[in-house]
Amino acid sequence: MPEGISVTVNGTRMSVAENTTVLAAVLASGTAMVRRSVSGEPRGALCGIGVCFECRVTVNSQRHRRSCQILCGQGMDIRTDE
């Protein structure tokens, strides 16, 4: 087994397998909500292929990154829209 990749999601450390997207890591952390919409609704991912922009999160302080398009990297700091 390859060694897991360590990331933090909203401050909680977790380990994920290689080739796991940031989105899969966020959902594995136990939340279905990835962000809040302009009117405050909870939203999760929709298209899974980088088109709908519903899965935007903050990765290493860079905001509005499409979490379905980014693979987890060692030590990545992931924050969902609170």
Residues that bind other proteins (CB under 8 A): 16-17, 19-21, 23-25, 27-28, 32-34, 37-39, 41-54, 56, 64, 68-69, 71
Rounded Cα distance, 65 and 76, in Å: 13
| Token digits of residue 3 | 């060694």
Closer Cβ to other proteins, 11 or 38, answer by number:
38
CA separation for the pair 13, 37 (Å, rounded): 26
Min dist. Cβ of residue 44 to other proteins (A): 3
Q: How far is C-alpha 78 from the chain's CA centre?
A: 6
Taking the complex as a whole, the smallest distance from the CB of residue 52 to other proteins amounts, in Å, to: 5
